[in-house]
Chains A and B, each alone.
Chain A
């Protein structure tokens, strides 16, 4: 059975948690004691009906405030497929948690309140999801009951979504009119909107292709296998085997590989697992690899097969989502974690900041909390990187504050990929590093 990971995103109060609650409730994914607990919690707060948002809003503070603070992960299965659901917070203060939920998603379930339409935060979430490589969106035009199921309200949302989808170059998207509160078009079809003859949210989720992150790992773009070395296993009787997870493409016994950043060439003589050796290790599997030559390979090194190995660079241009109250500026020193390597880095330039309403990059000298922007970094040791759009593992990094150890940014190698508007922007003067 295949597995689809999706993240519910969108602005605060547009009904994400209620929609996920409805989806779980109507597909009977909830146990009787969980339903009873939600009913009791609703009654305790004087809420007449069952508050479906309590199904995922499980923290005390979330229930007090009626908002989602952090991602809730829920698991569901229908006869057709399994789902991992990340119910993300909508509040701008918790954008970092939304990015956490979306970073491993195959699909974004974007919830929009039809009364308000697409708000700045909806656009920010759509942008972050698209930058993270989530290229299929199911948009729920929610609270249709509040506008009397007026088709014009639905059309306004779908028009705005169409424009956004073109700019973000989404692979697939559709807009479904729903009432999460009453359940129309979530799991069950309804006659509330006679003008709508498309699928329900559940049907759309079951039909969507399970993407690269169904495996939880990188995409196979034909660049050849990459294996960041996590751990060196010592063999009884001598010899070493290099443990890690395969991504980028299948790795085969007998294949030529290059050890990066050193550039040593060698051959895979064996791929081991606890359950026995493999001829071929597909993307997403944890293995250990034996090499023909006795090389000084250690954690942080990367084994790459194929004709298009990653670039070895110390100057990296990256798109970052910044998550700290302290602004990011040129000259800042941070730590970069990229694959299994952590190294100090310096911000050499802030190139620009993404205006999420106009979807254009404007010049900027700093990034504030929750901003998305392009920066240039110089690292202390070289990294073996691929552009993020080619490989989510070798193309991603996080930035870590050296003082607090907090994770302060999600980073993607390369510049944001936006249709018209961003593409025709003149390069900032005086920047040497090119997109890698």
Chain B
């Protein structure tokens, strides 16, 4: 698919309302046509009134409609849902879809970030600005607090905290009695995720049992759980990396700056480029060098690699990933390389 095709709006001659609320922000490289519109101002909220149209049903519109369907269905059937947000592109898309599903009302669930304490500062800044613009409720579940409270052993200042997140996440789910957690995971990311249902059941220990998944027929999402059990719901299950970027382009979704090419000091470790920061310092024999890079995924800074890239905007990123020979997680995630079934093993323990 060529980049130019993907910039047409899903609603022919439609508008881009809610801009002031900040979710929809201009993204470099995306030209949007904005027809004139008039506004109804009621209670300080905008309900944009435009000339009515018929939408074009391309694959992005269908993926969007299905994701909105899942969000509404799970929100309606669970007592205490929550949306898990990492600050990465998939959770930015998920939050954008949640806003589309429930505006003009507020979101019927809080947003929760499991904070490893090893984040890229650009991501935390992005998270805080976005949540405040949306006027939604943010819960931060802190891995550092889990360490301080002795829930998990301190792995040391520079070790990856990827696996520790599971304890923090499950503790937060128990503390708030959440019975459904929306996540931005996609089936094309990993061979274990490829096996997971849109609504994925977790037992009282937070565990996923891939051999005993509930049948999931048609779009009859059945998410009833007992107290102590919970669901993970993945509205982006059927989206590919390319779909996500094409949708970001179409909708003008803002992302942390580190997704776009920039120069920064890096060290090469285990075949990956890691950003030099407080938790990633050059080991003996490692050389710090300035590179033009971008991040294809966003996670814990100690295990998320950068890729050499000059793609400075969405259009260039789409062109880049369309010809990439390395998968998104293969290029950037040390946490998937521990073993053949690293993702399955973590998911069984209750990981995202």
Against A, the Cβ 8 Å flags (1 = close, 0 = not) of B218-236 are 1110101110000000000
A32 CB within 8 Å of chain B: yes
Cα of A282 to Cα of B102 in the assembled complex, Å: 20
B283 CB within 8 Å of chain A: no
Asked whether A406 lies within 8 Å of B65 as measured between CB atoms, the reply is no
Asked whether A393 lies within 8 Å of B218 as measured between CB atoms, the reply is yes
Q: Given A58-B192, A82-B59, A279-B52, are A323 and B17 also a contact pair (CB < 8 Å)?
A: no
Q: Given A34-B330, A235-B47, A396-B218, are A70 and B62 also a contact pair (CB < 8 Å)?
A: no
Question: Which of the listed residues A234, A281, A282 has the most CB atoms from chain B within 10 Å of its own CB?
Answer: A282
Residues of B within 8 A of A392 (CB): 218
- Majority-rule SS of A interface residues: mixed
22 A-B contacts (beta carbon < 8 Å):
A34-B327, A40-B340, A44-B340, A59-B191, A59-B341, A59-B344, A60-B340, A61-B210, A70-B195, A72-B195, A97-B215, A104-B218, A230-B72, A233-B105, A236-B104, A271-B52, A276-B52, A278-B11, A279-B53, A282-B54, A286-B66, A392-B218
Q: Which residue of chain A has its CB nearest to the CB of B37?
A: A276
Q: Given A99-B217, A286-B72, are A276 and B104 also a contact pair (CB < 8 Å)?
A: no
A319 CB within 8 Å of chain B: no
Residues of A within 8 A of B105 (CB): 233-234
Known: A56-B191, A400-B224; 7 extra A-B contacts, CB below 8 A, are A32-B330, A100-B216, A217-B219, A277-B50, A278-B11, A396-B218, A396-B220
Asked whether A405 lies within 8 Å of B195 as measured between CB atoms, the reply is no
Against A, the Cβ 8 Å flags (1 = close, 0 = not) of B166-186 are 000000000000000000000
A31 CB within 8 Å of chain B: yes
- Give residues of chain A (326-342) contacting chain B, Cβ–Cβ below 8 Å: 335, 337-338, 340
- A56, A245, A276, A340: the one within 8 Å of B48 (CB): A276
Residues of A within 8 A of B10 (CB): 275
Asked whether B69 lies within 8 Å of A405 as measured between CB atoms, the reply is no
Question: Which of the listed residues B14, B68, B345 has the most CB atoms from chain A within 10 Å of its own CB?
Answer: B68
Size of interface on A: residues with Cβ below 8 Å to B: 77
A151 CB within 8 Å of chain B: no
B303 CB within 8 Å of chain A: no
B76 CB within 8 Å of chain A: yes
Residues of A within 8 A of B14 (CB): 275-276
- Distance in angstroms from B97 CB to nearest chain A CB is 9
> Sorted from nearest, which 10 A-B pairs have the closest CB atoms?
A58-B191, A33-B330, A237-B42, A31-B327, A274-B100, A286-B68, A286-B65, A236-B43, A96-B215, A405-B224
A120 CB within 8 Å of chain B: no
- A72, A77, A104, A271: the one within 8 Å of B194 (CB): A72
A266 CB within 8 Å of chain B: no
Against A, the Cβ 8 Å flags (1 = close, 0 = not) of B193-207 are 011010000000000
Q: Which residue of chain B has its CB nearest to the CB of A72?
A: B194
- Distance in angstroms from B225 CB to nearest chain A CB is 6
- Distance in angstroms from A397 CB to nearest chain B CB is 7
- Distance in angstroms from B45 CB to nearest chain A CB is 4
A residues contacting B by CB (< 8 A) are: 1-3, 31-34, 37, 40-41, 44, 56, 58-61, 63, 69-75, 77, 82, 84, 96-97, 99-100, 103-104, 215-217, 230-231, 233-237, 243-245, 253, 271, 273-282, 284-286, 299, 323, 335, 337-338, 340, 392-393, 396-398, 400, 405-407, 410
Cα of A61 to Cα of B341 in the assembled complex, Å: 10
- A215, A230, A278, A400: the one within 8 Å of B62 (CB): A215
Q: Which residue of chain A has its CB nearest to the CB of B194?
A: A72
Q: Which residue of chain B has its CB nearest to the CB of A323?
A: B215
Cα of A77 to Cα of B105 in the assembled complex, Å: 38
Q: Which residue of chain A has its CB nearest to the CB of B340?
A: A41
Cα of A1 to Cα of B69 in the assembled complex, Å: 22
Cα of A217 to Cα of B331 in the assembled complex, Å: 35
Q: Which residue of chain A has its CB nearest to the CB of B45?
A: A236
- Give residues of chain B (1-47) contacting chain A, Cβ–Cβ below 8 Å: 1, 9-11, 14-18, 42-45, 47
Question: Which of the listed residues B49, B58, B219, B237 has the most CB atoms from chain A within 10 Å of its own CB?
Answer: B219
- A73, A99, A285, A410: the one within 8 Å of B61 (CB): A285
Q: Given A60-B341, A275-B11, A286-B65, are A231 and B75 also a contact pair (CB < 8 Å)?
A: yes
Cα of A69 to Cα of B45 in the assembled complex, Å: 49
**Once A and B bind, how many residue pairs between them come within 8 Å at the CB atom?**
217
Cα of A31 to Cα of B231 in the assembled complex, Å: 31
Residues of B within 8 A of A236 (CB): 42-45, 47, 104
- Distance in angstroms from A73 CB to nearest chain B CB is 5
- Give residues of chain B (222-270) contacting chain A, Cβ–Cβ below 8 Å: 222, 224-226, 237-238, 240
Cα of A276 to Cα of B48 in the assembled complex, Å: 7
Asked whether B43 lies within 8 Å of A406 as measured between CB atoms, the reply is no
B211 CB within 8 Å of chain A: yes
Q: Which residue of chain A has its CB nearest to the CB of B229?
A: A405
Asked whether A31 lies within 8 Å of B213 as measured between CB atoms, the reply is no
- Distance in angstroms from B244 CB to nearest chain A CB is 12
Cα of A59 to Cα of B341 in the assembled complex, Å: 7
- B15, B16, B66, B220: the one within 8 Å of A337 (CB): B220
- B99, B213, B219, B220: the one within 8 Å of A274 (CB): B99
Residues of A within 8 A of B330 (CB): 31-34, 37
Cα of A136 to Cα of B75 in the assembled complex, Å: 36
Q: Which residue of chain B has its CB nearest to the CB of A408?
A: B215
B325 CB within 8 Å of chain A: yes
Cα of A253 to Cα of B76 in the assembled complex, Å: 26
B137 CB within 8 Å of chain A: no
Q: Which residue of chain B has its CB nearest to the CB of A60?
A: B341
- A31, A40, A59, A275: the one within 8 Å of B15 (CB): A275
B103 CB within 8 Å of chain A: yes
Asked whether B72 lies within 8 Å of A231 as measured between CB atoms, the reply is yes
Residues of A within 8 A of B345 (CB): 60
- Distance in angstroms from B341 CB to nearest chain A CB is 5
Residues of B within 8 A of A41 (CB): 340
